[in-house]
């Protein structure tokens, strides 16, 4: 009977440990390796084989305390599960690496936590019902099942309380990885919410749009854009995992040397250097196309900072008058020309001007009801630059 109970507790631990590594913590393994090496080594992208190796190795290491306790001490049959609690603690610590990535850590698996609490309560009741004086190797199996399962659940609770449950970090890792593989499905399918307000996540979503050539058409559909700072990733170690910073700066072909946090100034200087290179007659058309992402980043930074005069002044340097301007650029110009009637028009867009007049009419009709005004504009003109420009209070301020 004792061996059967011990084997049951062992199998429960192995099953939980492997599922934890594979389902919830596969990226934490790579992150732990990256930080342990001081952020100096390249990180191997997760493959099914590497995830399974990490899961099996982590399970083998974390089971050692339980095996040591079972070998060194005598546990009654009804207390075999107690020997595995230290292993659950070690498992939680092993997957609980929590680098500085966000201001607040949110639980990524609240449903599982609630289910465990309910299970513990149920097992407590079960234990009280099946506890009998009849003990020993010949006692019914059910006499020991409730107490041992209850102890296993306590160990799982310890593990859940220690393991990493940072939603933003868990989203950031697969997002950077899929973008590196030129798969933008995840970046395009993120549902707006608290999880998407991280600078690094926002910068990765912008990167995905830029790589698809849609940055200046869909930028303001991204939730949590509150200034040009969102265009570039954070400098935390967790932001550097999977070459997150390298992904962005390689795409821009700009190195943030002595970067002081002023994104617009950094991009402007990078653009000036690029323009000097492009003036060389030896520069090919391909090199000119590679400069486009950097220029759009700079123009979009001006829009994010609501600096329409600088935007209108810079636009003719990068786009010809006969060129088809992206959607957000045309929206910004409509606002600029409406606010400054003396400004020289770079390009005429009667259709966009008409749409903007409709937008202005809608805003004016709800002028005395700010909440209703924002809601009406968001519903009638979703994902436009106008909503970002006129309703800054709807954006998270940092």
Least confident of 57-71, 110-124, 267-281, 304-318: 110-124
pLDDT tens per residue across span 38-96: 554 444 455 667 678 778 888 999 999 999 999 888 888 878 888 998 999 898 888 77
What is the tens place of the pLDDT at every residue in 181-204? 889 998 888 876 656 667 888 899
Q: How confident is the model at residue 136 (pLDDT cuts 50, 70, 90)?
A: low
Where do we find the tokens 């009709």? 365
d(CA 156, CA 88) in angstroms, rounded, equals: 6
**163 band by pLDDT with thresholds 50, 70 and 90:** confident
Cα 26–161–156 angle (5° rounding)?
80
Burial of 362-376, coded b for 16+ CB within 10 Å and e otherwise, reads ebeeeeeeeeebbee
Closest CA to 199 of 163, 235, 241: 235
- Do 120 and 150 touch, CB atoms closer than 8 A? yes
Q: Give the span between the Cα atoms of 133 and 156, in whole angstroms.
A: 28
How far apart, in whole angstroms, are the C-alpha atoms of residue 231 and residue 300?
9
Closest of 268, 251, 188, 111 to residue 259, by C-alpha: 268
Model pLDDT, residue 392 = 79
Q: Give the 3-state secondary structure of residue 103.
A: coil
Q: What is the pLDDT of residue 39?
A: 53
d(CA 247, CA 176): 8
CA pair distance 106, 167, nearest whole angstrom: 6
Specify burial of residue 52 (Cβ count, 10 A radius: 0-12, 13-18, 19+). middle
- Residue 180 pLDDT class (50, 70, 90 cuts): confident
Specify whether the CB–CB gap between 204 and 240 falls below 8 A. no
How far apart CA 242 and CA 130 sit, in angstroms, is 51
| Number of CB atoms found within 10 A of residue 267's CB | 24
Query: What's the CA gap between 384 and 307, in Å, rounded?
Result: 16
Q: What does the pLDDT read at residue 133?
A: 46
* Token pair 């107690």: residue: 82
Q: Where are the alpha helices (DSSP H) in the chain?
A: 2-19, 26-36, 48-62, 64-72, 85-94, 110-130, 142-162, 167-180, 185-189, 199-211, 215-218, 237-240, 244-252, 263-278, 285-304, 308-318, 327-339, 350-365, 370-380, 385-390
Q: How far apart are CA 364 and CA 267, in angstroms?
A: 36
What is the share, in percent, of the chain residues with pLDDT greater than 70?
73
Has residue 12 got a pLDDT over 60? yes
**CA angle centred on 173, ends 168 and 86, rounded to 5°:** 80
Alpha-carbon dihedral sign for residues 163, 165, 166, 168: positive
């Amino acid at each position: 009977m004792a061996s059967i109970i011990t084997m049951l507790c062992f199998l429960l631990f192995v099953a939980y440990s492997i599922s934890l590594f594979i389902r919830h913590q596969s990226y934490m393994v790579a992150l732990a390796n990256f930080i342990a090496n001081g952020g100096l080594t390249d990180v191997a992208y997760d493959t099914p084989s590497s995830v399974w190796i990490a899961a099996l190795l982590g399970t083998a290491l974390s089971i050692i305390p339980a095996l040591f306790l079972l070998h060194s001490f005598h546990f009654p049959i009804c207390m075999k599960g107690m020997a595995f609690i230290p292993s659950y603690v070690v498992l939680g610590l092993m997957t609980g690496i929590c680098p500085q990535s966000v201001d607040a850590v949110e639980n990524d698996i609240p449903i599982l936590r609630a289910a465990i609490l309910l299970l513990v309560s149920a097992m407590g009741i079960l234990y009280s019902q099946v506890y009998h004086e009849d003990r020993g190797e010949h006692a019914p199996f059910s006499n020991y099942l409730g107490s041992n399962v209850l102890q296993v659940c306590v160990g799982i609770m310890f593990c859940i309380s220690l393991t990493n449950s940072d939603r933003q970090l868990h989203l950031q890792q697969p997002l950077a990885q899929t973008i590196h593989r030129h798969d933008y499905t995840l970046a395009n399918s993120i549902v707006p919410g608290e999880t998407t307000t991280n600078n690094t996540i926002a910068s990765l979503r912008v990167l995905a749009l830029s790589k698809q050539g849609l940055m200046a058409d869909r930028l303001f559909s991204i939730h949590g854009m509150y200034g040009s700072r969102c265009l570039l990733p954070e400098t935390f170690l967790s932001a550097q995992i999977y070459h997150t910073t390298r992904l962005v700066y390689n795409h821009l072909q700009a190195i943030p040397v002595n970067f002081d946090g002023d994104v617009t100034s950094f991009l402007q200087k990078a653009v000036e250097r690029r323009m000097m290179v492009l003036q060389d007659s030896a520069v090919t058309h391909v090199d000119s196309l590679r400069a486009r992402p950097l220029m759009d980043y700079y123009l979009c930074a001006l829009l994010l900072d609501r600096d329409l005069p600088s935007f209108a002044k810079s636009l003719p340097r990068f786009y010809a008058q006969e060129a088809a301007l992206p959607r957000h650029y045309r929206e910004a110009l409509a606002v600029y020309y409406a606010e400054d009637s003396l400004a020289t028009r770079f390009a005429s867009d009667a259709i966009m001007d008409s749409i903007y007049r409709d937008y202005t009419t809608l805003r004016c009709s709800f002028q005395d009801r700010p909440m209703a005004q924002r809601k009406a504009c968001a519903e009638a003109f979703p994902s436009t630059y106008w909503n970002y420009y006129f309703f800054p209070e709807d954006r998270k301020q940092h």
